Amino acid sequence: MATAVASPPTSAPPRTSEEERVRAARRRDRINAVAWRLAGYAFFLGLWEFASGRLMDERLLPGPVDVLRTFGELWASGKVPGAFADTLTRIGIGFAIAFVVGAAIGILMQNRLLNGFFRDAVTIGVTTPGLIWALITAIIFGNRPWGPLIAIVLTTFALISVNVAEGIKALPKDLIDMAKSFGVGVVRRNRQIVIPHLAPYIFTGVRFGFSIAWKVTVLTEVFSSSSGIGFEMRTASQLFRLPEFLTWILAFYVFALLLEKVVLEVIERRFFAWRDTIKS
Amino acid sequence: MAEITVRNLHKEFGVGADKIVALDDVNLDISGHVFVSIVGASGCGKSTLLNILSGIETPSHGQVQITEDGRPAAKGYVFQAARLLPWRTVMDNLLFVQKDRSEQTRARCQRYLDMVQLGDKGRKYPGELSGGMQQRVGIARAFSTEPDVLFMDEPFSHLDAITARSLRAELQNMWQETRKTVIFVTHDVGEAVELSNRILVFAKGGHLADDIDMPLPFPRDVADPEVAVAKANVFRTFEQIGALAVS
C-alpha cells in the first residue's frame, strides 16, 4: 500500500540573492567601521609612542607601553581595585542621596508655589560647574568623608529634578483616562503607565548625573581626600611619577567605557526595546 | 439587559464670561441590544455626553444611571485614537484592562484578537502596527472586557476611507454576535445610518434636537435606495437643526 508522505516543510523560504547582497553589504559596512576605529587607536597610540622620548623627555611623557606596564603592576598590587572601590562607594552613596532628593524636588515642583520655591535653586544647581562645589567642600570639610558626598549631591540633584519634573509634566493623560474608563485601579495605572512613561526621563537624568558625579568625585579626591582615584592621581603627580599618573587616567577610561558599553546598553536593550518599534 | 437613563443632564465648563454650556437639559432612555449613534457638528457636546456616560467626566447637575439587570453595568470604551500603551505588547495591552490574568481571560483576549483579524499579532508592540491595526486592537480591547455597554468616540475618523469601511463591517458583525449595547459618537451621518438602529441628533448649545428610529435591516448597503433615502432624511434634519442653531 502506498503511503503518501508529506514532504517536510522547508524551515525557511530560500533567500533571494537580493537579500543576500544586502546582508553582505551590511557586513562589509560593519567591518569597515571597526577597521577605522582600530586605525584611530593605532594612529594616536603610535603618535604618543613616537613623541615619547623623541619630541619630549620620557620622564615627562612616558609612552603607552610604559603606562600599560605600570597599569599591570598597579593592578597586581591591588591598588587599582582598592582605589576604584573607594571612589565608587562615594559615588554610590552620594548619587543615591542626590537621586532621592532630586526626584522628591521634581515631584514637589508640580505645585505652582513649590515650583517658585525650588526653581532658582534648581537652576543654580544645573549651571554651577562641579569644580566650584569640589573646591568649596574641600575648603569646608577638608578630608572628612562629607566633602565628596555633598559635592556630588549639589552637582547632580538638579539634573534629576529637571528630568523628573519634565517627565511628570508630559504624563500621558489620554492613557490614564483610558485606564480609568476601563476601571483599572490606581496601583496598576502607576505600575503600567506612570512608571514606564517616567523611566526614560529618569534614565536620562541618571545617565548624565552619574557621569557628572564621577568627575566631581575625582576632583574632590584630588583636592581633599586620603583615598580613591583622585587621591592616587594627586600622589602620583606630587611624587613626579608620570607613568603612574597616566595609568590612573587609563583606568578611568577603561571603567567609563565598560560602563557605557556594557551596563548602560544592557539596560537600554532590556527596558527600552519598545522604542525601536516606533522608529521602524 | 442594559438600561441607560439620563435625567436633566447639564454640563458646563469654565466660569463667568468664559462659561460654555456643553450639555443642556438632556433626557434619554436607552435599553437593550441597540446600536445608538450620537451625531452633531463639532462642539455640540456629543463627546462630553459620552465622557459623562462612561464616567470620565462628572455632570454639573442631573442624573445618569447605567445598569445591567439592576446592577451597575460594565463599560468598555473605544477612543478616537487607539490609546495603547506603547511599551506593552498587543496581548499585554488587552490584559491590562482585565480583572484577572487567568488562562480563561487570556483565551478570551485571544478570541477577540482573532475576531479583529490580529490573532497572530499578540506579541507585537503597537509601534509595529499600522494605524488601522492599532484601532482594531483598541476595539478588541473594549470587547475583550465583555462590557454590557460599549462607548465609541469617533473610532474611525482618523483612518482612511477603505480601512474605516472594513472596520465598520467588522464592528457590525461583532455587535450582532455579542449583543452589546453600543453608544457610538460620530460626525459622519453616513456612518451613523449604516450602523445604528437609533440616531440622536445634537445641536449647538448641547441639546438633544432629534431622536430618529432606523428600523432598516442589517447589513445595510450604502447603495441601497432605502438606505440612501434614510441618509437623506437624517441630513435634512441635520440641516434644519444646523440652521436653527445659527439663528
Total count of domains within chain B: 2
> Do the Cβ atoms of B128 and B93 come closer than 8 Å?
no
Last residue of a domain, one of B92, B123, B146: B146
Residue A246: which of A97, A118, A65 has the closest Cα?
A65
Chain B contact set for A279 (CB, 8 A): 127
- Could you give the CA distance from residue B102 to residue B17 in angstroms, rounded to a whole number? 53
Distance from CA of A33 to the nearest CA of B (A): 29
Chain B contact set for A175 (CB, 8 A): 83, 85
pLDDT of A249 reads 86
pLDDT in tens, A43-59: 999 999 898 888 888 88
pLDDT in tens, B141-169: 998 998 899 999 999 888 888 888 888 88
Residue B36: in which H helix or E strand, if any?
A: strand B35-39
Q: Does B45 touch chain A (CB under 8 A)?
A: no
Q: How many CB atoms lie within 10 A of CB B70?
A: 8
The domains located in chain A, with CATH, are 23-61 (no CATH), 80-272 (1.10.3720.10)
| Residue of B52, B79, B87, B130 to mutate when probing chain A, most A C-beta within 10 A | B87
Q: Which three cell numbers stand for residue A219?
A: 576632583
> Do the Cβ atoms of B57 and B48 come closer than 8 Å?
yes
Chain A contact set for B79 (CB, 8 A): 174, 178
Q: Same domain, yes or no, for B69 and B89? A: no
Q: Same domain, yes or no, for B31 and B68? A: yes
Q: Same domain, yes or no, for B119 and B198? A: no
Residue B136 lies in a domain: yes
> Do the Cβ atoms of A211 and A263 come closer than 8 Å?
no
- Could you give the CA distance from residue A193 to residue B86 in angstroms, rounded to a whole number? 10
pLDDT of B243 reads 41
pLDDT of A280 reads 47
Q: Same domain, yes or no, for B124 and B154? A: no
Distance from CA of A9 to the nearest CA of B (A): 20
Chain A contact set for B185 (CB, 8 A): none
Residue B183 lies in a domain: yes
Last residue of a domain, one of B146, B166, B186: B146
pLDDT of A108 reads 92
User: Mean pLDDT in each 10-residue stretch from start to end of chain B (247 residues)?
Assistant: 90 84 89 90 84 87 89 88 93 93 92 90 91 91 90 88 86 87 90 91 84 86 85 82 50
Low-confidence ranges of chain A (pLDDT < 70): 1-16, 277-280
- Could you give the CA distance from residue A37 to residue A202 in angstroms, rounded to a whole number? 31
* Axis crossing angle, helix A229-238 with helix A242-258, rounded to the nearest 10: 160
**Cβ A280–B125 below 8 Å, yes or no?**
no
pLDDT of B246 reads 41
Q: Does B57 touch chain A (CB under 8 A)?
A: no
Amino acid occupying residue A131: L
Pairing label, strands B198-203, B207-213? antiparallel
Report the complex ipTM. 0.82
Structural domain of residue B53, as residue ranges?
A: 2-74+147-246
pLDDT of A279 reads 52
CB pairs under 8 A, 24+ apart, for A263-271? A264/A207, A267/A203, A268/A203, A271/A199, A271/A203
Gyration radius (Cα) of chain A, Å: 26
**Cβ B56–A183 below 8 Å, yes or no?**
no
Dihedral sign computed on CA atoms, order B104, B106, B109, B111: negative
